[in-house]
A and B are shown apart, each in its own frame.
Chain A
Amino acid sequence: DAKTTQPPSMDCAEGRAANLPCNHSTISGNEYVYWYRQIHSQGPQYIIHGLKNNETNEMASLIITEDRKSSTLILPHATLRDTAVYYCIVRVNRGYNQGGKLIFGQGTELSVKP
């Protein structure tokens, strides 16, 4: 699975959008981009994933560049509860018993400040 690069930390003001970048320049055609977050001393929480197109759900939006070499996770209105470590992971998702492993990098520690 391809590796990802993320800034180690970011700050965001409460109520503003948080834009978290991720570089995955060696991503291959069948690899998806996944985002998880981990609040202190809890298990990771799934946020969103995508292959080529931009995706949006109730938690966030995922913008993937046309060449798929980078992506941005957007939390539209960050709250204090969004303070967490955010992980960008690329993984093959071929289906039943064939999906790749989720290998975690160091992630981005997002601090949302009042």
Chain B
Amino acid sequence: GAVVSQHPSWVICKSGTSVKIECRSLDFQATTMFWYRQFPKQSLMLMATSNEGSKATYEQGVEKDKFLINHASLTLSTLTVTSAHPEDSSFYICSARGGTPPFEQYFGPGTRLTVT
């Protein structure tokens, strides 16, 4: 299957700082990218959907000013957690969907964020 990478794989930051997570589709052009969050022992929760060159669409309850998403190219999307707090500590997973059949959706390995 297609490869999606994330960087960093884990990050520790202090409360009040901002953290940027990168998501790249390595061998296909991702017209749509998704960001999920997963707390321990819970399922993945979709945070937002972004199409290349457009503003992201956020799911209900997700603060768009806190979780800034940029999808500037067909292979790169970034998620910036602004003014991070300990409750933002979570596993963040990106996913990318190609623009050609079969339009499958592939997931990155995830980024573990710990806010101290």
- A: residues with CB less than 8 A from B are 36, 38, 41-46, 49, 87, 93, 95-97, 99, 101-107
Contacts and interface: CB of A to CB of B under 8 A. Distances in A.
A46 B43 contact: no
A49 B1 CA distance: 13
12 contacts: A43-B93, A43-B109, A43-B110, A44-B44, A44-B95, A96-B31, A96-B103, A99-B105, A102-B34, A104-B36, A104-B44, A105-B43
In the complex, which range does the number of interface residues on chain B fall in? 20 to 34
A10 B107 CA distance: 24
Contacts, number: 60
B106 interface: yes
Contacts of A95: 101, 103
Interface in B39-62: 43-46, 49, 51
Nearest to B109: A43
